[in-house]
Amino acid sequence: MTAAFPTRRLRRLRATPALRRLAAEHALVPAQLVLPVFVKEGITAAQPIASMPGVSQHPLEALAGVVDEAVAAGIGGIMLFGVPATRDAVGSGAVDPDGILNRAITLARDAAAGRLTVQADLCLDEFTDHGHCGVLAGDGSVDNDATVDVYAQMGVAQARAGAHILGLSGMMDGQVAAVRAALDAAGFAHVVILAYSAKYASAFYGPFRDAVESTLQGDRRTYQMSPANAREGIEEALSDIDEGADVVMVKPAGPYLDILARVADVSSVPVWAYQVSGEYALIETAAAAGLIDRERAIGESLLGIRRAGADAILTYWALEAAGWLQDGKDLA
């Protein structure tokens, strides 16, 4: 006699690897991954970043090699960050066509030759001596509108250098509209704006400060969002779309999957996520201590971000994960 219970056997589709693969609701392809790349002025060999095991700062001369690796891995792009030799109060190196980031953009663009997208961080924190994402007013606060003016100049400099996509990560009000207008006026109507829309004031950026050698005076809570807020993240994304953002982003990714899912539900443009330096360091250090299975944890973290609604992911594991995908390995 056959038991009438259970009538619903959800385990059926989990029985073999082939069934599980066929029944998978979400997957990633290499083209949906973007690698952040740090380019440092004045070095001649790659310098490992202590807080991000496996990640290095690269000399300008090595950038073409990094681009070739990224192309071979089939990833969708690289996101460039500049580490300048000198900084000042207003971040002059950001708008200088000879600044390290602008030079890196041109070099990467030439090396890429259309094979992947070259993206650039549009923010002042790597270029200011106080480490804030903008210029300061007399009282020491970050001056929104004065900063947005510099972002507009920086955006045009990056477009002129050859960036395909500008990553506006400064969280100033009105930055998307101002950079869009400046780009259009300067003949760069085709340059894409990726707005870091819901960007939270996060401890998970800690290792990144090492990577760009930025020492911050104070914190970023007057412009980056409070981790307590969700509705506000949706509003940030919607207003960036209104201002002309081509892509919106949620950052960090892992601790903000709820925000990612909600933004993905209402966005009329692609939604990307940034798996940040601290998310990277957590998994790397736990794996190095033998506490978790490194590859499975990486794969699961990426799949989780995808499942929550990211169309593409910025991740320091982009090359490695793309390699697994090319080999036909499952992420989780």
Alpha carbon dihedral 321, 325, 326, 329, in 10-degree steps, equals 120
- CA dist 32 and 313 (Å) reads 6
- CA dist 198 and 207 (Å) reads 20
* 3 state DSSP class of 223: coil
Question: End-to-end distance of the chain based on CA atoms, in angstroms?
Answer: 38
Pick the closer one to ligand PBG by CB: 94 or 330. Answer: 94
The residues assigned a catalytic role are 199, 251
Pick the closer one to ligand PBG by CB: 188 or 316. Answer: 316
Q: Residue 123 Cβ, how far from ligand PBG at the closest point, in Å?
A: 4
Contact between residue 198 and residue 172 where contact means Cβ atoms under 8 Å apart: no
- Per the annotation, binding residues for Mg(2+) are 236
Q: Residue 125 Cβ, how far from ligand PBG at the closest point, in Å?
A: 5
Q: Residue 169 Cβ, how far from ligand PBG at the closest point, in Å?
A: 4
- Per the annotation, binding residues for 5-aminolevulinate are 209, 220, 277, 316
Pick the closer one to ligand PBG by CB: 70 or 123. Answer: 123
- CA dist 250 and 230 (Å) reads 11
- Per the annotation, binding residues are 209, 220, 236, 277, 316
Pick the closer one to ligand PBG by CB: 188 or 204. Answer: 204
In this structure, what are the phi and psi dihedrals at residue 139, rounded to the nearest 5 degrees?
A: -85, 5
Q: Residue 207 Cβ, how far from ligand PBG at the closest point, in Å?
A: 7
- CA dist 304 and 306 (Å) reads 5
User: What residues line the site for ligand PBG (CB under 6 A)?
Assistant: 121, 123, 125-126, 169, 205, 208, 220, 276-277
